[in-house]
């Protein structure tokens, strides 16, 4: 149940993007870094399960941005398609640095090529950070107009795992309000950029998820996930202690990758066990094109708390325990 916020409400920034990636913690994921050649202009963390190593969020030196959230399904099995949603993200970010393809052309390409039927449902926000951003919704019909955001000042938009105009998810509305408050507080107090990032990470770390019984699995929690911006570790995992020990040694992304199924879908082992907010990202885009990209890997702290069955003090623990794993200043666009 990932969530992303996009805001043009700060007078000192052209665009602010905040994102939580929620995932099964066994699923290997790289830290944020520049991709190897020939796509060394792309910066992102990457999913290591699929052979193409797709991403859910990335940015390029030319200013292309893409942020993807999965579409909410009733079961975990329904959420998996033949091809990775990240292929759509990769196809935008991996365009040649001198490509002239526009955001409109890219979205039109995907809505007409018939490939969306082979991919699990998703919402993709894409474009250039200095321009309006388009929302490509895989469940929308070809006749529906493309939605655009970040096209005017003072706008704050949340997008999770449902339709853009679905206002029934508390995490979206409460998160939008909290982002607005965080920005207003930063401006009013004339704080530093680091303080703004801490405020935004604080919003991403608010945990309001109802607690079920200790033996409740992820399936039982699914109806409750729209309640909380931050998802603490949920589900059952007999291997949790081993995973926690690996995380403490900072080896989570070095764990073996199990083979995919013959159909190309991820191994079922990656759709089981503990599930939680795995990555947090904050992107600040100045009016001069300067970008600050911060990626937070929070698995170690969360697994430790889960194994100790801590249910309180979530926000303060997150702020004290998080590990910043990627801070980059990109080329001006």
Question: Tens of pLDDT along 126-142?
Answer: 999 999 999 998 877 66
What average pLDDT is seen over the chain? 82
Closest CA to 126 of 108, 110, 100, 106: 106
Report the pLDDT value the prediction gives residue 141, as an integer from 0 to 100.
64
DSSP string, 2-38: -EEEEE---TTEEEEEEEEEEEETTS-BPPSEEPPTT
Residue 250 has pLDDT above 80, yes or no: no
Cα(230)–Cα(173) distance, integer angstroms: 14
Report the pLDDT value the prediction gives residue 132, as an integer from 0 to 100.
98
Hey, which bits of the chain come out as E strands? 3-7, 13-24, 33-34, 42-44, 57-60, 64-70, 122-128, 133-137, 147-149, 156-159, 275-286, 291-297, 323-330
What residue ranges do the domains of the chain occupy?
3-240+269-307
Residue 57 has pLDDT above 70, yes or no: yes
Q: Give, in order, the Cα–Cα distances in Å from 273 to each of 165, 250, 267, 288, 326.
A: 32, 20, 13, 44, 27
- Write the pLDDT tens digit of every residue in 226-241: 999 999 999 876 545 5
Residue 273 has pLDDT above 50, yes or no: yes
CATH fold of the domain at 3-240+269-307? Penicillin V Acylase; Chain A (3.60.60)
Instruction: Give the mean pLDDT of 132-158.
Output: 89
Starting at the edge strand found earlier in the chain, the sheet holding 13-24 runs 156-159, 3-7, 13-24, 275-286, 291-297, 323-330
Report the pLDDT value the prediction gives residue 256, as an integer from 0 to 100.
46
């Amino acid at each position: 149940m990932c969530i992303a916020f996009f805001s043009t409400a700060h007078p000192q920034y052209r665009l602010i993007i905040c994102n939580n990636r929620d995932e099964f913690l066994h699923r290997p994921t790289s830290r944020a870094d520049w991709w190897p050649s020939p796509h060394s202009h792309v910066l992102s963390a990457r999913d290591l399960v699929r052979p193409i190593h797709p991403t859910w969020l990335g940015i390029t030196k030319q200013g292309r941005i893409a942020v993807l959230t999965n579409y909410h399904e009733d079961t975990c099995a329904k959420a998996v398609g033949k091809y990775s949603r990240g292929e759509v993200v990769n196809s935008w970010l991996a365009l040649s640095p001198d490509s002239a393809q526009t955001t409109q052309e890219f979205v039109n390409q995907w809505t007409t090529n018939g490939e969306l039927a082979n991919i699990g449902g998703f919402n993709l926000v894409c474009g250039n950070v200095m321009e309006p951003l388009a929302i490509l919704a895989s469940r929308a019909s070809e006749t529906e107009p493309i939605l655009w955001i970040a096209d005017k000042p003072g706008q704050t938009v949340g997008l999770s795992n449902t339709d853009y105009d679905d206002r029934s998810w508390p995490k979206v509305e409460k998160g939008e309000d909290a982002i607005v408050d965080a920005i207003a507080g930063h401006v009013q107090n004339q704080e530093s950029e680091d303080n703004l990032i801490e405020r935004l990470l604080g919003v991403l770390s608010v945990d309001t998820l109802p607690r079920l019984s200790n033996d409740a699995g992820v399936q039982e929690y699914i109806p409750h996930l729209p309640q909380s911006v931050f998802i603490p570790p949920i589900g059952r995992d007999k291997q949790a202690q081993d995973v926690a020990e690996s995380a403490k040694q900072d080896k989570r992304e070095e764990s073996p990758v199990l083979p995919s199924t013959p159909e190309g879908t991820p191994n079922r082992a990656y759709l089981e066990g503990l599930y939680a907010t795995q990555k947090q990202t904050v992107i600040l885009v100045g009016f001069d094109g300067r970008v600050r990209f911060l990626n937070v890997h929070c698995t170690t702290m969360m697994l430790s708390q889960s194994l100790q069955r801590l249910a309180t003090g979530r926000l303060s623990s997150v702020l004290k325990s998080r590990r910043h794993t990627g801070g980059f200043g990109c080329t001006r666009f």
